[in-house]
Amino acid sequence: MRNIAKWRCQLTEYDIKYVSRTSVKGQAIANHLAEFPIVDDTPINSDFPNEGILQVNGEEEITRWKMYFDGAVNSNGSGIGAVLISPEGRHFPVTAKIDFPCTNNIAEYEACQFPAFTDRHDRRTLRRIAVNFFLSGETLYRRSFDATLLRCVDENEAQRLMEEMHEGNCGPHMNGLMLAKKLMRLGYFWSIMETDCVKHIRHCHLCQVYANQIRAPPNELHPMAAPWPFSMWGMDVIGPINPKASNGHLFILVAIDYFTKWIEAITLASVTAKTVARFLKRDIIARYG
């Protein structure tokens, strides 16, 4: 009965209907042994003949693939690379392109390749400029001529530095070139800093109001009549002039007669009362009375 119950459990997965059998008359056990003869020393195998192992529920090693990713991906887009390692230890390098709009200059920079439209002169110039720059972590620095390290800044930080240095709490409202030199002494750099500093000064309201410029309001011109020649003269000083005169003088003293429009002019190193009086005596009074 034990074997019958065991067979019944194994056959439950099949659609089999079991019917109780009536009692068997005669030598049922003898008939069974006659149909399945065995050697005396062989134990009786009560299982099904020709059965096989279908599945063994045991722990087995799970094979895994490994991937090493170079991390060369950003929000602007670039090429990426990966290495796949199979369970057998084989390496499969894979490269891919991120599927969103990007420019080619980042990928070309990562591949250390120059653009196709550059010539030999452009490449030589780029190599010469790149010698003065280096990366420390994620910060770009430039080596100055005196071996000072200047931190490169972007456009927003450059604008903030110019505003703070020029018109901050202690800002002296210096000119553009002095502002650029001051920023470099503090350890900052960007490629067009002198041009940006000059533009920033031109847009400073206080510099335009208090600059050393002629601020006389424009008036209508009124003609002045002179009764006779050389009876009325007008004088003015022009300068400082740039470039200087051949003798190094910076100013021009001009006198004009209102009647004949005759002009007398000399150059001066400095404008003083003595030099103006000598000009009037020698060039005006002594010659024209």
Please check whether residues 157 and 205 belong to one and the same domain: yes
Residue 282 lies in a domain: yes
Residue 91 lies in a domain: yes
Question: Measured between alpha carbons, how far is 248 from 236 in angstroms, rounded to an integer?
Answer: 20
Residue 53 lies in a domain: no
| β partners of residue 236 | 254
Residue 46 lies in a domain: no
Question: Measured between alpha carbons, how far is 265 from 234 in angstroms, rounded to an integer?
Answer: 12
Picking from 234, 244, 289, the residue whose alpha carbon sits closest to that of residue 265 is 234
Please check whether residues 199 and 241 belong to one and the same domain: no
φ, ψ of residue 105 in degrees (nearest 5) = -70, -30
Question: Measured between alpha carbons, how far is 275 from 281 in angstroms, rounded to an integer?
Answer: 10
Residue 182 lies in a domain: yes
Number of domains in the chain: 3
Domain that residue 249 falls in: 233-288
Question: Measured between alpha carbons, how far is 165 from 15 in angstroms, rounded to an integer?
Answer: 93
* Confidence category of residue 186, pLDDT binned at 50, 70, 90: confident
Please check whether residues 240 and 283 belong to one and the same domain: yes
- pLDDT, one tens digit per residue, over 9-18 is 777 777 777 7
Residue 27 lies in a domain: no
**Mean pLDDT rounded to a whole number for the chain:** 75
Q: What is the pTM of this model?
A: 0.35
Please check whether residues 204 and 244 belong to one and the same domain: no
User: Which among 47, 76, 110 is the end of a domain?
Assistant: 110
- pLDDT, one tens digit per residue, over 54-91 is 655 655 555 777 777 665 544 444 456 677 788 777 87
User: CA of 197: how far to CAs of 166, 184, 202, 213, in Å?
Assistant: 9, 12, 9, 20
**Residues 234-269 as b or e (16 or more Cβ within 10 Å = b):** eeeeebeeeeeeeeebbbbbebebbeeeeebeebbe
User: CA of 199: how far to CAs of 36, 163, 236, 264, in Å?
Assistant: 110, 12, 33, 40
Residue 41 lies in a domain: no
Please check whether residues 200 and 161 belong to one and the same domain: yes
The CATH number of residue 244's host domain is: 3.30.420.10
Residue 132 lies in a domain: no
- pLDDT, one tens digit per residue, over 112-133 is 566 667 777 877 887 787 888 8
Question: Phi/psi zone of residue 52: left (φ > 0), alpha (ψ -120 to 50 degrees), beta?
Answer: beta
Q: Within 139-236, where are the H helices?
A: 155-167, 176-185, 193-202, 205-209
* pLDDT value of residue 91: 76
Question: Measured between alpha carbons, how far is 254 from 239 in angstroms, rounded to an integer?
Answer: 11
